[in-house]
Amino acid sequence: MGETVQLRERVIMHLDMDAFFASVEQRCNPRLRGRAIAVIGSAGRTVVTTASYEARRYGVKAGMNRYEAAMLCPRLIFVIGNNRKYIDTSIRILNILKDFSPTIEPYSIDEEFLEITGSELLFGPPQDTARVIKERIEREIGLTCSIGIAPNKLLAKLATHMEKPDGLVVLGRDDIPSILEKLPVGEVWGIGRRLTAHLKEMGVERCGQLGRYPVSRLRRRFGIVGERLSLMGRGIDESPVVPVGKEATAKSVGHSTTLPRDVSDRGVIRRHLLHLSEMVGRRARRYRIMGKRITLTVRYPDFYTFTRQKSLPLPTNDTDAILRASLSLLDKVRLRESVRLLGVSLAGLVTEYPQLPLFEEELRRERLLETMDAVNDRFGDFTLSWGTLLDRDGKAGVISPAWRPEGVKKVEVR
**Residue numbers annotated as active site:** 111
| HEC string for the chain | CCCCCCCCCCCEEEEEECCHHHHHHHHHCHHHCCCCEEEECCCCCCEEEEECHHHHCCCCCCCCEHHHHHHHCCCCEEEECCHHHHHHHHHHHHHHHCCCCCCEEEEECCEEEEECCCCHHHHCCHHHHHHHHHHHHHHHHCCCEEEEEECCHHHHHHHHHHCCCCCEEECCHHHHHHHHHHCEHHHCCCCCHHHHHHHHHCCCCEHHHHHHCCHHHHHHHHCHHHHHHHHHHCCCCCCCCCCCCCCCCCCEEEEEEEEEEEECCHHHHHHHHHHHHHHHHHHHHHCCEEEEEEEEEEECCCCCEEEEEEEEEEEECCHHHHHHHHHHHHHCCCCCCCEEEEEEEEEEEEECCCCCCCCHHHHHHHHHHHHHHHHHHHHCCCCCCCCCCHHHHCCCCCCCCCCCCCCCCCCCCC
Using the rule CB under 5 A, is 16 a contact of Ca ion? yes
Cα(239)–Cα(103) distance, integer angstroms: 13
User: Which segment (8-16, 120-128, 185-193, 296-304) binds Ca ion by CB under 5 A?
Assistant: 8-16
Residue 222 touches which of ligand DCP, Ca ion, none (Cβ within 5-8 Å per kind): none
Using the rule CB under 6 A, is 109 a contact of ligand DCP? yes
User: For the window 19-58, what string marks contact with ligand DCP as x by the rule CB under 6 A?
Assistant: xxx---------------------------xx--------
Choice between 187 and 391, CB closer to ligand DCP = 187
User: For the window 79-108, what string marks contact with ligand DCP as x by the rule CB under 6 A?
Assistant: ------------------------------
Choice between 50 and 297, CB closer to ligand DCP = 50
Number of residues counted as binding ligand DCP (CB under 6 A)? 13
User: Which segment (19-27, 233-241, 296-304, 349-357) binds Ca ion by CB under 5 A?
Assistant: 19-27
Q: Which of 58, 61, 62, 85 binds ligand DCP (CB under 6 A)?
A: 62
Using the rule CB under 6 A, is 17 a contact of ligand DCP? yes
Choice between 111 and 237, CB closer to Ca ion = 111
User: Which segment (15-23, 190-198, 287-295, 318-326) binds ligand DCP by CB under 6 A?
Assistant: 15-23
Q: How far is the CB of 19 from Ca ion (least distance, A)?
A: 7
Choice between 53 and 123, CB closer to Ca ion = 53
Using the rule CB under 5 A, is 110 a contact of Ca ion? yes
Using the rule CB under 6 A, is 164 a contact of ligand DCP? yes
Using the rule CB under 6 A, is 312 a contact of ligand DCP? no
Q: Which of 11, 13, 16, 208 binds ligand DCP (CB under 6 A)?
A: 16
Choice between 166 and 227, CB closer to ligand DCP = 166
Choice between 143 and 207, CB closer to ligand DCP = 143
Q: How far is the CB of 29 from Ca ion (least distance, A)?
A: 20
The residues with which 342 forms a beta bridge, in sequence order, are 257, 298
Q: Interface with ligand DCP by CB under 6 A: which residues?
A: 16-21, 49-50, 62, 109-110, 164-165
Q: Interface with Ca ion by CB under 5 A: which residues?
A: 16-17, 20, 110
